[in-house]
Amino acid sequence: MDGGGGVNSAVMNSLRLFILGTIIETGRRFFQWAVERFKLFQYSITAQFQEGDPSYEWIILFLTEEKVWTRARQFRVNATNSMRKWTVNMADPDGDDLSKDENAEYVPTYDEAQLFKWRGYWVEIRRTMTSRFNPSVGNQLSTTLYTRDMSALSALVDDAKARYTRRSNPHVIVHTIDQAGMNFGPNGVWGNSKSKQRRPLSSIILQEGVIQSLVEDAREFIRSEDWYTKAGIPHRRGYLLHGPPGTGKSSTIYAVAGELGLEIYSLSLASSFVDDSFLQRAVASIPKQAIFLIEDIDCAFPSREDQEEAETLPMMAGAPFPPHMMMNSRMMGRQTSPITLSGLLNVLDGVGSEEGKIFFATTNYIDRLDSALLRPGRIDKKIQYKLATKAQAAALFLRFYPESYTTLLCEQSETTPLSEKMPIDGDARKTLTPAEKTAALADLAARFSAEIPEHEFSTAEMQGFLLACKQQPEKAVADVAAWVAGERAEREQKRVREEEREARKREKKELREARQLQGSLARLGEMGAFGGGAEEAHGGSQKARRRHGPPPELDAAGAIPSVHVNGTIPLPNGAGPLSNGTSPMSNGTSPMSTGTSPLLSGSPVQSPNGTPVMEVPSVTSKAVEVGA
Ligand X SMILES: Nc1ncnc2c1ncn2[C@@H]1O[C@H](COP(=O)(O)OP(=O)(O)OP(=O)(O)O)[C@@H](O)[C@H]1O
Chain residues in the site for ligand X (CB under 6 A): 204-206, 245-251, 362, 364, 385, 459-460, 463
In contact, 164 and 58? CB cutoff 8 Å: yes
Minimum CB distance to ligand X, residue 385 (Å): 6
Q: Based on CB atoms, which residue is closest to ligand X, 271 or 362?
A: 362
Residue (168 or 362) nearer to ligand X, CB:
362
Q: Where are the alpha helices (DSSP H) in 540-575?
A: 541-548
The DSSP result for 149-164, as a single string, is -HHHHHHHHHHHHHHH
- Of the candidates 166, 136, 156, 137, the residue with the CA atom closest to the CA atom of residue 47: 156
Cβ closer to ligand X: 78 or 384?
A: 384
Report, in Å, the least distance between residue 267 CB and ligand X: 15
CA atoms within 13 A on the CB side of 98: 15
Q: Quick one: 271 or 285, whose CB is closer to ligand X? A: 271
Closer to ligand X by Cβ: residue 75 or 239:
239
Please state the closest distance from residue 334 (CB atom) to ligand X, in A. 16
Q: How far is the CB of 255 from ligand X (least distance, A)?
A: 9
For ligand X, which is the closer residue by CB, 68 or 297?
Answer: 297
Residue 264 CB, nearest distance to ligand X (Å)? 13
Closest CA to 404 of 435, 429, 362, 358: 435
Q: Name the E strands within 158-296.
A: 171-176, 192-197, 236-242, 264-267, 291-294
From the list 69, 95, 73, the residue with the least C-alpha distance to 85 is 69
d(CA 63, CA 56): 11
Closest to ligand X by CB, 331 vs 383, is 383
- The span from the CA of 51 to the CA of 56, in Å, is 5
Query: What is the Cα–Cα distance from 58 to 96, expressed in whole angstroms?
Result: 17
Give the nearest distance from C-beta 261 to ligand X in angstroms.
20
**224 vs 463, which CB is nearer to ligand X?**
463
Measured CA to CA, the distance from residue 554 to residue 573 in angstroms comes to: 14
DSSP, collapsed to helix, strand or coil, labels residue 459 as: helix
- 8 Å CB contact between 301 and 336: yes
| 45 versus 396: smaller Cβ distance to ligand X | 396
- Chain CA centroid to CA 526, Å: 53
Burial (CB < 10 A; 0-12, 13-18, 19+), residue 24, is exposed
Distance of closest approach, residue 268 Cβ to ligand X, in angstroms: 12
Give Cα separations from 91 to 64, 94, 96, 97, 99 (angstroms): 15, 9, 10, 10, 9
Closest CB to ligand X among residues 211, 537: 211
- Indicate the residue among 245 and 567 with the shorter CB distance to ligand X: 245
Task: Give dist(CA 533, CA 321) in Å, integer.
Answer: 30
Instruction: Report, in Å, the least distance between residue 175 CB and ligand X.
Output: 18
**Residue 206 CB, nearest approach to ligand X (Å):** 5
Backbone φ/ψ region at 464: left (φ over 0), alpha (ψ -120 to 50), beta: alpha
Kindly state the helix (H) or strand (E) to which residue 118 belongs, with its residue range: strand 114-118
Q: Give the residue with the Cβ less far from ligand X, 153 or 361.
A: 361
| Closest distance of CB 596 from ligand X, Å | 41
Quote the least distance from Cβ 489 to ligand X, whole Å.
23
State in angstroms the smallest separation of the CB of 473 from ligand X.
Answer: 18
Look at residues 344, 401, 338, 396 and name the one whose alpha carbon lies nearest to residue 369. 344
Instruction: Tell me which residue has its CB nearest to ligand X.
Output: 248
Report d(CA 12, CA 25) in Å as an integer: 20
Tell me the C-alpha distance between 172 and 432, whole Å. 38
Kindly state the smallest distance separating residue 207's Cβ from ligand X, in Å.
9
Kindly tell me the burial class for residue 592, based on how many C-beta atoms sit within 10 Å of its own C-beta (0-12, 13-18, 19 or more). buried
Rounded distance between C-alpha atoms, residue 423 and residue 432, angstroms: 12
C-alpha Rg value of the chain to the nearest Å: 37
When the beta carbons of 313 and 383 are compared against ligand X, the nearer one is: 383
